[in-house]
Amino acid sequence: ITRRFAYELIKRDLIHPSQNVPAPDMGTGQREMAWIADQYARMNTTDINAKACVTGKPMNAGGIAGRVEATGRGVQYALQEFFREPLDLQRAGLSGSLEGNRVIVQGLGNVGFHAAKFLSQEDGAKIIAVIERDGALINETGLNVEGVADWRNKTGGLKDYPDAVFVPEGAKLLEHDCDILIPAALEGVINLDNAARIKAPLIIEAANGPVTAGADEILREKGCVIIPDMYANAGGVTASYFEWVKNLSHIRFGRMQRRQEEARSLMLLAELERLSTQMGADWSMSADFKKRFVQGAGELELVRSGLDDTMRAAMQAMRALWHSDENVTDLRIAAYLVAIRKVAESYQTKGL
C-alpha cells in the first residue's frame, strides 16, 4: 500500500528531493520511509540525490543519527532554553532549574517517550504522570519512563504497572497539579471543557495543536505560559533538514573533522599529563576526563549540537519580542511575528 501510494505521488512529481520531501508522523516510521525512498529510486534510476526524496529513513538507507529522538530532544532543548531566562520563568511563576520540577506527559509515543526520558535522566525533572489510550499512571515521587514504556510495549497498556497508581480516566490527569504539562499525542486534548481546570503554569505543545483556540484564551487569562507547537515540536523537521543536507552532500557529518579534532585533543592531553607528572600529587585529571575530552564529535553529537543551537536561537528571537512589545502577550503571537517578519524581509530584499 505504501509503495503504491508513493508510486502515485512520484509519477505526479509530488515527491522530489528539491520539491516535496516527506517525513514520518503518527502511524509511520523508518520502515515506511525506506519503502518510499526505494520506490523513488526505482522510478528515477539516474537521480544521484534519490535518497534525499524523503527523511526519517533508517541509517542503512541514508538516514541520520539522532532523527528518531529529534522531536522529543527538541522539546527538552526548548525547556532548557526557557529555564535559562529568569524573565521567562517569572512569567510562568517558576524559578530555578528543571531539576525537581513535576512533569506530566500525555502520550508515550516517540515524542513523549524521548522528551520524558531526557528530561528525567539528564535534567533531573520528575515525571509524575503518564497518560495513554487506556488510562494513566501517577507516582508523585517520579516514574521510571523506560520501565513504563517497556511495560506498555510488553502488555499493550499501562494497567497493572507495579510502581504507580493506575487511573482509568487518564484525561483527568491533565488537570492534576504539576509544574510542566507536555501534551505529546493528539490534537485538541486541552479544550473548552477542561481548560479552566488545568493547573500547570507551563505547557509545552509537543503535539500538533493540542490546545484549541478557545482553551488558549482561557489559559492565557489564567496566566499559564504556553510554548507553542510550531516551535516546540520542530526538532523532528530540523533533524530532517540535517538528513536532507547529508543526502545531498553524500557524506556523513563528522567524517572530515572528527579524527583531526581527536589529534588536537590528544596533543593537549599529552601536555597536561606532562605537567601532572611534574606537579605530582598537587594536581591530577579526573578519571574520565581523558576519555570524554579526546572523543571527537561524530554524527550524533553534531546533530544534537545543531538542533540545540536551532532551538536556542528560535526561542531567543521569540523571547525578545515577548518581553519588549506590550502588544505581544504570549509566545504563540511572538512565534507568528518572528516567522512573518522573516518572510516580509525576504520579499523586501527581492523588491517585491
Instruction: Give me the sign of the Cα torsion angle 243, 248, 252, 253.
Output: negative
**Mean pLDDT of the 186-207 span:** 96
Strand, coil or helix: 268: helix
321 within domain boundaries: no
90 within domain boundaries: yes
180 within domain boundaries: yes
* CATH number where 199 lies: 3.40.50.720
Same domain, 169 and 38: no
89 within domain boundaries: yes
pLDDT the model gives residue 289: 76
What is the C-alpha separation between 98 and 345, in angstroms, rounded?
36
**Predicted confidence band of residue 190 (pLDDT cuts 50, 70, 90):** very high
Q: Between 187 and 275, whose confidence is greater? A: 187
Same domain, 35 and 175: no
pLDDT per residue as tens digits for the range 270-294: 888 787 777 776 666 777 777 777 7
CB atoms within 10 A of CB 347: 10
The last residue of one of the domains, among 185, 205, 235, is: 235
Same domain, 212 and 178: yes
pLDDT at 75 over 70: yes
What's the domain range around 102?
Answer: 70-235
299 within domain boundaries: no
pLDDT the model gives residue 273: 79
- Pick from 342, 239, 351, 349: nearest CA to 299: 239
208 within domain boundaries: yes
pLDDT at 60 over 80: yes
pLDDT at 86 over 70: yes
pLDDT the model gives residue 299: 93
Q: Which residues pair with 204 in a beta bridge?
A: 227
Same domain, 85 and 131: yes
Q: What's the structural domain count of the chain? A: 2
pTM for this structure? Answer: 0.91
99 within domain boundaries: yes
The last residue of one of the domains, among 182, 202, 235, is: 235
- Pick from 128, 131, 127: nearest CA to 106: 131
Residue 70's alpha-carbon distances to 6, 64, 270, 300, in angstroms, are: 24, 11, 36, 10
**Mean pLDDT of the 59-70 span:** 96
